Structures are given as C-alpha cells and as structure tokens.
Amino acid sequence: MRKIFIRFIVLIFCLFITGCSKKNSHQKNSKTQISTGITYQHVQHSTDPKLSIHILRIDPSKVAIRPAKAGSCCFGRETISAIANRYNALAAINGGFFEESGTPAGALKIWDYWFSDPKLMRGTMGWNNVIDGVSDVSIDRLGMQWFVHINDRVFSVSRINHARAQKKTIVYNTAFNTSTKTDKYGTEIIVQDNRIIDIQNNKGNAKIPNNGFVYSVSKDTNIDLSMIRVGMDASLEYSFVMPEHKNIDWEKFDFIVGGTPVLVSQGRVNPDFDADKILHSFIHNRHARTAVGIMPDGTWVFVVVDGKASPISDGMTIQELADFMQRFGCVKALNFDGGSSSTMWVRGKVVNTPGAHWWIFSMQGEPKVSDALLVVPR
C-alpha cells in the first residue's frame, strides 16, 4: 500500500512538472512562403504577456508596395479584403489613422495626389515606386504648411480635406467628395485651372471642380477677402516642416503615409514617444498594433500584433513594439493605426484576429479602414 501511494505521488509530481514546463516554454513559430518575395510568419507566446504576432517579410525587388484608399472615389471606409481584392494584391495590412468618416487623420499622398495632411508633426513614411526594387525609404516626423496664392497675396490654410471647424480655413479637392459638405457660415472660393471661377458667400457645400480646389473660409476667421474677385489667378502650394538638422526630400516620394510614433530610427529605438503628443494610454497600454519596418538590406517588414480581441494575445505597448522591431533587425520602423483596425490579409484571407471582442468577432465582421498598404505583383 505504501509503494502504491509513493508511486501515485511521484506520478502526480511528474505530471505537474511536465505541465509547468509546457506552460512556461510553449511557443509556436511557423513560416510560409506566400510567393516569390513574400514570407509569412506567425509567432505565438503563451507566457505573460500572451502574444500572437503576424509578420510579413517583403522583398521590394520582387513585388511592389503601394498605399490604397478605401472606395473608388471620395473618403470612406472599407475592409482590407475589399481593397486588396480590388487591386489583385498578394498581401495587405491596414494603413494610417483615420476619423470616423474615413478621412485620413495623417498624411496620405498617392502618386501626385494629396488626400490628407498631418495635423501636427507626426511620424510619416515615404517611398517611391521603382521598377528595379531599389528605393530610398524615409521614416521620420513630418509636418506641412499649405498656402493659397491669389494674385500677389498669400492666404493661410489650416488643413486640406477635413471638416471646416470654427476659425479654420480648409482646402478641398475631389479626393474629399463632389462637394465641400460645409454649412452656410463662411465663404468658398472655387478655383479651376488656377483661376477663380466663382465666389460663394453664406451658401456652403460648394461643388469641387476637377483640376481645381475650393478654398473654404469659416465666417469667424480674421481674413479679409473683400478684394478677391472672379477671374483672379489662384494656386495652391505647400511646404514641409521637419525636425531640426533633417534634410529629407519628401517631394520626391510617390507615396507618403502617416502613422505615429516613429518606433526605430537609424537602428535605435525612439527615446521619446511623447514628442508626437499622443494619449498616454495609447503609448503605455497594451493594444493590438500594426507597424512597418525596413531591414538593412532593404527588406520590408509588416507586423500585426493581435490584441485582447484574440484569446491568445494581450497586445503590446509602444515600447514593446519598438523593442520587437529593433530586435527583429529593423533599422527604421513606424507605428500605424492599431486596436480594432489592425488587420493582416494574406492570399485571400485575414490571418489575424481583428475586432473589439473575439467572442463576437463573427458578428462584427472584418473592420473597415480608411486606407491600406498593399503588396502587389510587379
């Protein structure tokens, strides 16, 4: 009887040790070649914090990387699947931050067309579409200033393609919509082919012309428009605002997409994530995350970290995400929109778990976003 009892105790102890060992060391790491130039990797850690990390390694000499906005015209929101399928993409992730309407919150330039500008100095990524896959990619903090020139006078612009608030001046182009959607409390100067074709006072919702823009001035701004007349020359110009001692030629880039904050620069983790004036909880709490990094050899890295929407992941803080990107080998890295927007799409399906609550994910469906970063065939 005593031997049976001792054997039973030893058996229980062995099972306990084995279970603890599996619990403490459990890790899954799988890799899949998606196509020439694209490798998908899924890493899972069951330790505290639990993590589910989805990684795409992309060779820009084999495939092209391009931003794409939701919808075929105007601002709005759309699933990554819909955007990716429309462009016959091989893989895709969500892009920059956006407002509920689908208006991008940061910079978005696709080819020669500006869809949105950064509100403040914020993390931004720029690159070119090139045939041979060799392209300079810049990641840094970027701001912008816009101006409307009418004859020999210069007028300030608060932002482009955003809702016109009090004491604001907004420029609208056809990326925004067919009309400005403004109220009647202001003046709208309609410009086509660099000439004023109409001036509307206290009407609002002016039609946005092709090959032109609308300069919309809120009624309570301290700007004198009394000398402006139909037929005057008018043009829109902008300049970039960069950190001191930085000399990046942002004008040369075909594509510019805003995120925040910069995670890694020149191989070093950003020492000050608060410089972009972001919410403390956004920086220091664990959330689902999306990031893009560049390796020393030019390889791109797309990373999506599942958050609490997934039963197997707690998400990352910004510091943890930056540390991960650096350890992975990225010399440059930028954080993009996260939370419920974080989505990775590979070969026709979403591979991560986006959404707010995993147990009702099937009811929620795939989240809709403002824009995406696509990997497409050359």
pLDDT range class, residue 116, cuts 50, 70, 90: very high
pTM higher than 0.85: yes
pLDDT reported for residue 19:
42
Mean pLDDT score across all residues of the chain: 89
Number of Cβ within a 10 Å radius of residue 131: 8
DSSP 273-331: GGGG---HHHHHS-B-EEEEEE-TTS-EEEEEE--TTSTT---B-HHHHHHHHHHHT-S
For 79-103, the pLDDT digits (tens) are 999 999 999 999 999 999 999 989 9
For 151-182, the pLDDT digits (tens) are 999 999 999 999 999 999 999 999 899 999 99
pLDDT range class, residue 314, cuts 50, 70, 90: very high
CB 83 within 8 A of CB 92: yes
Q: Is the Cα dihedral 285, 261, 118, 255 positive or negative?
A: negative
Q: Please state, in angstroms and rounded to a whole number, the distance separating the CA atoms of residues 155 and 340.
A: 39
Between 71 and 275, where is the model more confident? 71
Residue 20 has pLDDT above 50, yes or no: no
For 334-350, the pLDDT digits (tens) are 999 999 999 999 999 99
CB 141 within 8 A of CB 278: no
Q: Please state, in angstroms and rounded to a whole number, the distance separating the CA atoms of residues 294 and 334.
A: 9
pLDDT reported for residue 181:
95
Residue 5 has pLDDT above 90, yes or no: no
pLDDT reported for residue 7:
46
Domain boundaries, the chain: 26-142+247-377, 152-232
Lowest-confidence segment of 27-31, 131-135, 369-373 by average pLDDT: 131-135
Q: Both tokens of residue 121?
A: 């100095």
Report cis status (omega within 30 of 0) of the bond before 49: yes
pLDDT reported for residue 25:
45
Lowest-confidence segment of 261-265, 273-277, 295-299 by average pLDDT: 273-277
pLDDT reported for residue 3:
46
> Residues 351-359: what's their mean pLDDT?
70
Q: Please state, in angstroms and rounded to a whole number, the distance separating the CA atoms of residues 335 and 215.
A: 32
Residue 74 has pLDDT above 50, yes or no: yes
Residue 14 has pLDDT above 70, yes or no: no
Residue 6 has pLDDT above 50, yes or no: no
- Residues of the chain with pLDDT > 90: what percent? 77
pLDDT range class, residue 133, cuts 50, 70, 90: low
For 190-218, the pLDDT digits (tens) are 999 999 999 999 999 999 999 999 999 99
Report cis status (omega within 30 of 0) of the bond before 261: yes
pLDDT reported for residue 26:
62
For 230-255, the pLDDT digits (tens) are 999 999 999 999 998 888 999 999 99
